[in-house]
Amino acid sequence: MFKTRSLLFVSLLLLSFSPFHPLAPSGGTTYYVSSSTGSDSDNGLTPDTAFQTVGKVNSLALNPGDQVLFFCGDVWQGEMLEITDSGASGSPIVFSSYPAGCGGKPVLSGSRPISGWALSSGNVYVADLDTGANAGKFPYGINQLFRDSDRLMMGRWPNITAPNGGYSYIDGQNDEDITDNELPAGNWTGATVHIKGMRWYILNRDVTGSSGTTLTLNTSPDCFTGSCAGWGYFIHNHILTLDQEGEWAYDPVTNQVFLYTTGGTPANVEG
Protein backbone atom coordinates (compact mmCIF):
# COMPACT_ATOMS: atom_id res chain seq x y z
CA MET A 1 0.00 0.00 0.00
CA PHE A 2 1.57 3.33 -1.12
CA LYS A 3 1.20 6.39 1.04
CA THR A 4 -0.73 8.18 -1.69
CA ARG A 5 -2.57 5.54 -1.45
CA SER A 6 3.45 -33.87 -11.54
CA LEU A 7 0.31 -34.04 -12.71
CA LEU A 8 -0.79 -37.28 -10.98
CA PHE A 9 -3.94 -38.91 -12.33
CA VAL A 10 -5.24 -39.87 -8.96
CA SER A 11 -8.90 -39.06 -9.62
CA LEU A 12 -9.54 -39.07 -5.89
CA LEU A 13 -13.13 -38.76 -4.90
CA LEU A 14 -12.46 -37.39 -1.44
CA LEU A 15 -16.00 -36.07 -1.18
CA SER A 16 -14.84 -34.06 1.86
CA PHE A 17 -15.24 -37.31 3.79
CA SER A 18 -18.98 -36.97 3.50
CA PRO A 19 -21.06 -40.02 4.40
CA PHE A 20 -20.16 -42.74 1.95
CA HIS A 21 -22.41 -43.50 -0.98
CA PRO A 22 -21.39 -46.78 -2.61
CA LEU A 23 -20.07 -46.51 -6.15
CA ALA A 24 -20.75 -48.91 -8.96
CA PRO A 25 -18.69 -52.08 -8.54
CA SER A 26 -15.23 -51.57 -9.98
CA GLY A 27 -13.49 -54.80 -9.06
CA GLY A 28 -11.19 -53.02 -6.64
CA THR A 29 -10.51 -53.73 -2.98
CA THR A 30 -12.24 -51.85 -0.18
CA TYR A 31 -10.23 -51.12 2.97
CA TYR A 32 -11.74 -49.98 6.27
CA VAL A 33 -9.98 -47.79 8.84
CA SER A 34 -11.07 -47.00 12.41
CA SER A 35 -8.93 -45.19 14.98
CA SER A 36 -11.24 -46.32 17.79
CA THR A 37 -11.78 -50.02 17.04
CA GLY A 38 -9.26 -50.98 14.35
CA SER A 39 -5.90 -52.71 14.49
CA ASP A 40 -3.06 -52.53 11.98
CA SER A 41 -2.50 -56.24 12.53
CA ASP A 42 -5.90 -56.99 10.97
CA ASN A 43 -6.47 -57.20 7.21
CA GLY A 44 -8.65 -54.10 6.88
CA LEU A 45 -11.09 -55.83 4.54
CA THR A 46 -14.22 -55.57 6.71
CA PRO A 47 -15.52 -53.10 9.31
CA ASP A 48 -14.81 -55.73 11.99
CA THR A 49 -11.20 -56.13 10.84
CA ALA A 50 -10.44 -52.47 10.10
CA PHE A 51 -6.97 -50.94 10.13
CA GLN A 52 -6.29 -48.32 12.79
CA THR A 53 -3.76 -45.78 11.53
CA VAL A 54 -3.22 -43.51 8.55
CA GLY A 55 0.34 -44.84 8.46
CA LYS A 56 -1.03 -48.27 7.62
CA VAL A 57 -3.05 -46.76 4.78
CA ASN A 58 0.12 -45.07 3.50
CA SER A 59 1.84 -48.45 3.33
CA LEU A 60 -0.80 -49.93 1.01
CA ALA A 61 -0.16 -50.37 -2.70
CA LEU A 62 -3.48 -49.04 -3.98
CA ASN A 63 -4.78 -49.88 -7.44
CA PRO A 64 -7.41 -48.30 -9.69
CA GLY A 65 -10.85 -49.02 -8.28
CA ASP A 66 -9.69 -49.43 -4.67
CA GLN A 67 -11.54 -47.65 -1.87
CA VAL A 68 -10.31 -46.56 1.55
CA LEU A 69 -13.14 -45.83 3.98
CA PHE A 70 -12.64 -44.06 7.32
CA PHE A 71 -15.05 -44.71 10.17
CA CYS A 72 -17.46 -41.85 10.83
CA GLY A 73 -16.80 -39.95 14.05
CA ASP A 74 -13.22 -41.15 14.41
CA VAL A 75 -10.28 -38.74 14.62
CA TRP A 76 -6.70 -39.18 13.41
CA GLN A 77 -4.41 -36.61 15.05
CA GLY A 78 -1.10 -35.53 13.55
CA GLU A 79 -1.10 -38.25 10.86
CA MET A 80 -0.44 -37.24 7.25
CA LEU A 81 -2.27 -39.08 4.48
CA GLU A 82 0.30 -39.67 1.71
CA ILE A 83 -1.25 -40.46 -1.67
CA THR A 84 1.32 -41.94 -4.04
CA ASP A 85 -0.75 -44.29 -6.20
CA SER A 86 -2.84 -43.36 -9.22
CA GLY A 87 -6.32 -44.29 -10.32
CA ALA A 88 -7.36 -44.58 -13.95
CA SER A 89 -10.02 -43.05 -16.14
CA GLY A 90 -13.37 -44.41 -14.98
CA SER A 91 -11.70 -46.31 -12.13
CA PRO A 92 -10.56 -43.83 -9.47
CA ILE A 93 -9.05 -44.50 -6.10
CA VAL A 94 -11.70 -43.40 -3.61
CA PHE A 95 -11.23 -42.06 -0.09
CA SER A 96 -14.50 -41.67 1.81
CA SER A 97 -16.32 -42.76 4.97
CA TYR A 98 -18.50 -45.52 6.42
CA PRO A 99 -21.17 -46.54 7.34
CA ALA A 100 -23.59 -45.10 4.79
CA GLY A 101 -25.79 -42.34 6.13
CA CYS A 102 -23.69 -41.51 9.20
CA GLY A 103 -23.88 -38.02 10.61
CA GLY A 104 -20.39 -37.20 11.92
CA LYS A 105 -17.57 -37.09 9.41
CA PRO A 106 -14.20 -38.68 10.13
CA VAL A 107 -11.50 -36.12 10.86
CA LEU A 108 -7.89 -36.28 9.67
CA SER A 109 -6.07 -33.48 11.45
CA GLY A 110 -2.47 -32.51 10.79
CA SER A 111 -2.22 -30.65 14.10
CA ARG A 112 -1.16 -31.92 17.51
CA PRO A 113 -2.10 -30.74 21.01
CA ILE A 114 0.23 -28.20 22.61
CA SER A 115 0.59 -28.36 26.38
CA GLY A 116 2.88 -26.98 29.07
CA TRP A 117 1.79 -23.34 28.78
CA ALA A 118 3.37 -20.88 31.20
CA LEU A 119 2.86 -17.16 31.67
CA SER A 120 5.52 -15.18 29.81
CA SER A 121 4.44 -11.61 30.57
CA GLY A 122 1.16 -9.72 30.80
CA ASN A 123 -1.42 -11.75 28.90
CA VAL A 124 1.16 -13.63 26.81
CA TYR A 125 1.72 -17.34 27.46
CA VAL A 126 4.55 -19.47 26.10
CA ALA A 127 4.89 -23.19 25.35
CA ASP A 128 8.21 -24.90 24.66
CA LEU A 129 7.80 -27.42 21.85
CA ASP A 130 10.98 -29.29 22.82
CA THR A 131 9.96 -30.24 26.35
CA GLY A 132 7.37 -32.28 28.21
CA ALA A 133 4.51 -33.80 26.24
CA ASN A 134 5.38 -31.57 23.27
CA ALA A 135 8.84 -33.09 22.74
CA GLY A 136 9.29 -34.77 19.37
CA LYS A 137 5.85 -33.85 18.08
CA PHE A 138 6.85 -30.73 16.16
CA PRO A 139 10.05 -31.50 14.22
CA TYR A 140 9.22 -28.80 11.65
CA GLY A 141 7.83 -26.21 14.06
CA ILE A 142 4.36 -24.82 13.42
CA ASN A 143 2.76 -22.50 10.90
CA GLN A 144 -0.84 -22.68 12.13
CA LEU A 145 -2.42 -22.51 15.58
CA PHE A 146 -5.93 -23.62 16.56
CA ARG A 147 -7.98 -23.27 19.72
CA ASP A 148 -11.17 -25.30 20.11
CA SER A 149 -10.73 -26.14 16.39
CA ASP A 150 -10.82 -22.44 15.44
CA ARG A 151 -7.87 -21.08 13.47
CA LEU A 152 -6.08 -18.28 15.30
CA MET A 153 -4.48 -15.27 13.64
CA MET A 154 -0.73 -14.72 13.77
CA GLY A 155 0.25 -11.54 15.59
CA ARG A 156 0.56 -8.44 13.43
CA TRP A 157 1.61 -4.81 13.81
CA PRO A 158 -0.24 -2.66 13.02
CA ASN A 159 -3.37 -4.67 13.77
CA ILE A 160 -5.58 -5.39 10.78
CA THR A 161 -8.24 -3.20 12.42
CA ALA A 162 -5.87 -0.21 12.68
CA PRO A 163 -6.16 2.81 10.37
CA ASN A 164 -4.83 2.50 6.81
CA GLY A 165 -5.94 -1.14 6.63
CA GLY A 166 -3.34 -2.32 9.12
CA TYR A 167 -0.30 -0.80 7.37
CA SER A 168 2.38 1.53 8.66
CA TYR A 169 4.68 3.45 6.32
CA ILE A 170 8.40 3.42 5.64
CA ASP A 171 9.91 6.87 6.20
CA GLY A 172 13.33 6.03 4.77
CA GLN A 173 15.51 3.25 3.35
CA ASN A 174 19.26 2.73 3.22
CA ASP A 175 20.07 -0.61 1.57
CA GLU A 176 18.89 -3.27 4.07
CA ASP A 177 17.77 -0.70 6.64
CA ILE A 178 14.26 0.71 6.73
CA THR A 179 13.07 3.42 9.12
CA ASP A 180 9.58 4.02 10.46
CA ASN A 181 9.22 6.90 12.90
CA GLU A 182 6.06 5.27 14.33
CA LEU A 183 7.68 1.89 15.04
CA PRO A 184 7.00 0.87 18.65
CA ALA A 185 10.04 0.54 20.89
CA GLY A 186 11.59 -2.88 21.34
CA ASN A 187 13.86 -5.41 19.73
CA TRP A 188 12.13 -6.67 16.57
CA THR A 189 14.88 -9.11 15.58
CA GLY A 190 13.38 -12.37 14.31
CA ALA A 191 10.18 -10.81 13.02
CA THR A 192 8.99 -10.96 9.41
CA VAL A 193 8.32 -7.76 7.49
CA HIS A 194 5.89 -7.60 4.56
CA ILE A 195 6.47 -4.57 2.34
CA LYS A 196 4.05 -3.39 -0.33
CA GLY A 197 6.69 -3.15 -3.07
CA MET A 198 4.02 -2.21 -5.61
CA ARG A 199 0.25 -2.17 -5.51
CA TRP A 200 0.06 -5.78 -6.70
CA TYR A 201 2.88 -7.52 -4.83
CA ILE A 202 4.42 -7.80 -1.37
CA LEU A 203 8.09 -8.29 -0.48
CA ASN A 204 8.83 -10.57 2.49
CA ARG A 205 11.97 -9.98 4.53
CA ASP A 206 13.33 -11.23 7.86
CA VAL A 207 14.43 -8.75 10.52
CA THR A 208 18.05 -9.44 11.46
CA GLY A 209 18.62 -6.32 13.56
CA SER A 210 16.65 -3.62 15.32
CA SER A 211 17.68 -0.24 16.70
CA GLY A 212 15.23 2.47 17.68
CA THR A 213 12.99 3.14 14.70
CA THR A 214 15.24 1.28 12.24
CA LEU A 215 14.93 -2.34 11.15
CA THR A 216 17.77 -4.21 9.43
CA LEU A 217 16.51 -6.79 6.95
CA ASN A 218 18.18 -9.96 5.66
CA THR A 219 18.23 -8.56 2.10
CA SER A 220 17.57 -5.14 0.65
CA PRO A 221 13.94 -4.71 -0.48
CA ASP A 222 13.63 -3.47 -4.06
CA CYS A 223 10.40 -1.55 -4.38
CA PHE A 224 8.98 -0.60 -7.76
CA THR A 225 9.97 3.05 -7.36
CA GLY A 226 13.52 2.18 -6.24
CA SER A 227 13.39 3.33 -2.63
CA CYS A 228 10.71 1.80 -0.41
CA ALA A 229 10.21 5.14 1.38
CA GLY A 230 6.51 6.01 1.35
CA TRP A 231 5.34 2.46 0.86
CA GLY A 232 3.20 0.54 3.35
CA TYR A 233 4.34 -2.45 5.38
CA PHE A 234 3.41 -4.55 8.38
CA ILE A 235 5.22 -6.87 10.78
CA HIS A 236 4.29 -10.49 11.49
CA ASN A 237 5.29 -13.27 13.86
CA HIS A 238 6.92 -11.55 16.82
CA ILE A 239 6.04 -11.38 20.49
CA LEU A 240 5.85 -7.57 20.27
CA THR A 241 2.88 -7.88 17.89
CA LEU A 242 0.74 -9.72 20.44
CA ASP A 243 -1.94 -7.44 21.87
CA GLN A 244 -5.28 -8.95 20.82
CA GLU A 245 -7.12 -12.07 21.92
CA GLY A 246 -5.90 -15.19 20.13
CA GLU A 247 -2.87 -13.62 18.43
CA TRP A 248 0.21 -15.82 18.40
CA ALA A 249 3.83 -15.98 17.29
CA TYR A 250 6.37 -18.75 16.78
CA ASP A 251 10.11 -18.46 17.41
CA PRO A 252 11.98 -21.07 15.29
CA VAL A 253 15.25 -20.40 17.12
CA THR A 254 13.91 -21.40 20.54
CA ASN A 255 11.09 -23.60 19.16
CA GLN A 256 8.60 -21.78 21.35
CA VAL A 257 5.09 -20.59 20.59
CA PHE A 258 3.54 -17.52 22.23
CA LEU A 259 -0.19 -16.85 22.62
CA TYR A 260 -2.04 -13.75 23.80
CA THR A 261 -5.15 -14.54 25.82
CA THR A 262 -7.07 -12.95 28.66
CA GLY A 263 -8.70 -16.26 29.57
CA GLY A 264 -5.91 -17.67 31.71
CA THR A 265 -3.72 -20.66 30.91
CA PRO A 266 -4.49 -21.78 27.32
CA ALA A 267 -6.35 -25.04 26.82
CA ASN A 268 -7.46 -27.05 23.77
CA VAL A 269 -4.70 -25.50 21.64
CA GLU A 270 -3.21 -27.37 18.69
CA GLY A 271 -0.54 -26.55 16.17
Contact between residue 85 and residue 93 where contact means Cβ atoms under 8 Å apart: yes
Residue 11 has pLDDT above 70, yes or no: no
Q: Give the pLDDT confidence score for residue 143 in this predicted structure.
A: 94
Residue 149 has pLDDT above 70, yes or no: yes
Strand 146-147 with 232-236, pairing: unpaired
Average pLDDT for residues 250-267, to the nearest whole number?
97
Strand 94-98 with 67-71, pairing: parallel
Please state, in angstroms and rounded to a whole number, the distance separating the CA atoms of residues 49 and 54. 15
Please state, in angstroms and rounded to a whole number, the distance separating the CA atoms of residues 238 and 103. 41
Residue range 16-60, pLDDT digits in tens: 444 444 444 457 999 999 999 999 999 999 999 999 999 999 999
Q: Give the pLDDT confidence score for residue 171 in this predicted structure.
A: 97
Residue 12 has pLDDT above 80, yes or no: no
Lowest mean pLDDT among 82-91, 112-121, 148-157, 205-214: 82-91
Highest mean pLDDT among 88-92, 114-118, 221-225: 114-118
Please give the single-letter amino acid code of residue 260.
Y
The domain ranges of the chain are 27-110, 117-155+242-270, 157-240
Query: DSSP state, 113?
Result: B
Within 8 A by CB and 6+ apart from 187, the residues are 210, 240
Q: Give the pLDDT confidence score for residue 1 in this predicted structure.
A: 44
Residue 119 has pLDDT above 80, yes or no: yes
Please state, in angstroms and rounded to a whole number, the distance separating the CA atoms of residues 110 and 54. 11
27-110 — its CATH code?
3.30.1910
Residue range 181-226, pLDDT digits in tens: 999 999 999 999 999 988 888 999 999 999 999 999 999 988 888 8
Q: Give the pLDDT confidence score for residue 26 in this predicted structure.
A: 54
Looking at the chain, the whole-number percentage of residues with pLDDT higher than 90 is 78
CATH architecture designation of domain 157-240: Beta Barrel (2.40)
Residue 163 has pLDDT above 80, yes or no: yes
Looking at the chain, the whole-number percentage of residues with pLDDT higher than 70 is 90
Average pLDDT for residues 129-151, to the nearest whole number?
94
Mean predicted lDDT score pLDDT of the chain? 89
Within 8 A by CB and 6+ apart from 145, the residues are 114, 151, 152, 154, 248, 250, 257, 259, 269, 270, 271
Residue range 30-42, pLDDT digits in tens: 999 999 999 999 9
Q: Give the pLDDT confidence score for residue 155 in this predicted structure.
A: 97
Rg (CA), the chain: 24
Q: Give the pLDDT confidence score for residue 148 in this predicted structure.
A: 94
Average pLDDT for residues 77-95, to the nearest whole number?
91
